């Protein structure tokens, strides 16, 4: 998710958006320390998830809450992980790769140190919650850590993984398309409304929502996926989208407004 250091949104934002907090820095420029800090913290996340699964961090916390952990009933790989654990670790690692790629290749904005810590902490907390829920007998979609065949017979794992992959691709591809548009000197000062953004005006936010929903589904099933989906949609529609629309209207004027008005959906094509 493209978040930045907290600051108030531009004054000329519609429908009270000026009172909303914008976690995205709109200032372009390099920030070597913040970039290195963010990258380092995100690379530590998969290591933390691995420790939660295998070093007793997760099981101790779950027992402290009065619950049990999912038993192992399958052989493990070289990392000592069962297939289901491998999937969960891969989802966490995928978020690290996606967000680091976004920062190093796509983003043109600065990354202040406090922002780097905030974003990394949020995503690590979200991944840790999913890992813990996947380990707990009360919440996990698996009643035991079986083999790969057992995963293929678990609808939340199959469907959730598909949502995750689709969401990451939707977010990443849409942002690459916008970056290439902006790199063309002929498009300087113009808003972008082509490619996947022609299907939903903030389709990159929609992609983020979809892959977070998929990860939640793989870890704890349909109910947690519905909660995660509703939470991100609410945040995007009531905060992030109004703030960004206000900024873009101030920067691009009527040209941006016309683009948004032509697109019937804000986050997910055909849905919302």
More confident residue, 6 or 169: 169
pLDDT of the residue at 17: 53
Size of the chain in residues:
272
CA dist 63 and 72 (Å) reads: 16
Instruction: Kindly provide the b/e burial profile for residues 28-56, where b requires at least 16 CB atoms within 10 angstroms of the residue's own CB.
Output: eeebeebbebbbebbeebbebbbebbbee
DSSP state of 9: P
Q: Are 146 and 193 in contact (CB under 8 A)?
A: no
Instruction: Band the pLDDT of 58: cuts 50, 70, 90.
Output: very high
Q: Are 69 and 58 in contact (CB under 8 A)?
A: yes
pLDDT of the residue at 154: 96
Instruction: Band the pLDDT of 18: cuts 50, 70, 90.
Output: low
Please, what is the angle between helix 113-135 and helix 83-101, to 10°? 160
- The string of pLDDT tens digits covering residues 132-179 is 999 999 999 999 999 999 999 999 999 999 999 999 999 999 999 999
Asked if pLDDT for residue 265 goes beyond 50, the answer is: yes
Radius of gyration of the chain (CA): 20
Q: Are 227 and 216 in contact (CB under 8 A)?
A: yes
Contacts of residue 143, Cβ cutoff 8 Å, sequence gap at least 6: 70, 137
Q: Are 176 and 103 in contact (CB under 8 A)?
A: no
With the CA atoms of 104, 110, 111 and 114 taken in that order, what torsion angle do they form, in degrees rounded to the nearest 10?
Answer: 180
Asked if pLDDT for residue 119 goes beyond 50, the answer is: yes
pLDDT of the residue at 74: 76
CA dist 65 and 270 (Å) reads: 41
CA dist 206 and 266 (Å) reads: 8
pTM for the full model?
Answer: 0.91
Instruction: Band the pLDDT of 4: cuts 50, 70, 90.
Output: very low
């Amino acid at each position: 998710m493209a978040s930045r250091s907290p600051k108030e949104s531009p004054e000329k934002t519609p429908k009270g958006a000026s009172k909303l907090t914008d976690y995205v820095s709109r200032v372009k420029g390099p920030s070597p320390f913040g970039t290195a800090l963010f990258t380092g913290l995100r690379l530590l996340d998969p290591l933390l998830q691995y420790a939660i699964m295998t070093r007793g961090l997760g099981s101790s916390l779950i027992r402290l809450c009065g619950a049990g952990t999912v038993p192992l009933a399958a052989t493990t790989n070289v990392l000592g992980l069962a297939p289901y654990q491998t999937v969960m670790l891969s989802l966490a690692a995928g978020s690290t790769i996606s967000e680091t790629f976004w920062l190093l290749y796509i983003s043109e904005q600065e990354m202040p140190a406090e922002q780097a810590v905030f974003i990394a902490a949020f995503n690590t907390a979200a991944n840790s919650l999913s890992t813990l829920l996947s380990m707990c007998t009360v919440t996990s979609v698996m009643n035991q850590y079986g083999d790969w065949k057992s995963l293929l017979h678990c609808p939340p794992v199959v469907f959730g993984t598909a949502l995750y992959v689709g969401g990451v691709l939707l977010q990443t591809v849409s942002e690459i398309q916008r970056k290439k548009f902006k790199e063309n000197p002929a498009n300087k000062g113009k808003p972008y409304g082509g490619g996947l953004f022609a299907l939903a005006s903030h389709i990159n936010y929609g992609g983020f929502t979809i892959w977070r929903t998929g990860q939640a589904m793989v870890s704890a099933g349909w109910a947690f996926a519905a909660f995660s989906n509703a939470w991100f949609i609410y945040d995007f529609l009531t905060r992030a989208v109004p703030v960004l629309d206000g900024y873009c209207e101030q920067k691009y004027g009527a040209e941006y407004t016309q683009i948004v008005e032509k697109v019937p959906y804000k986050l997910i094509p055909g849905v919302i």
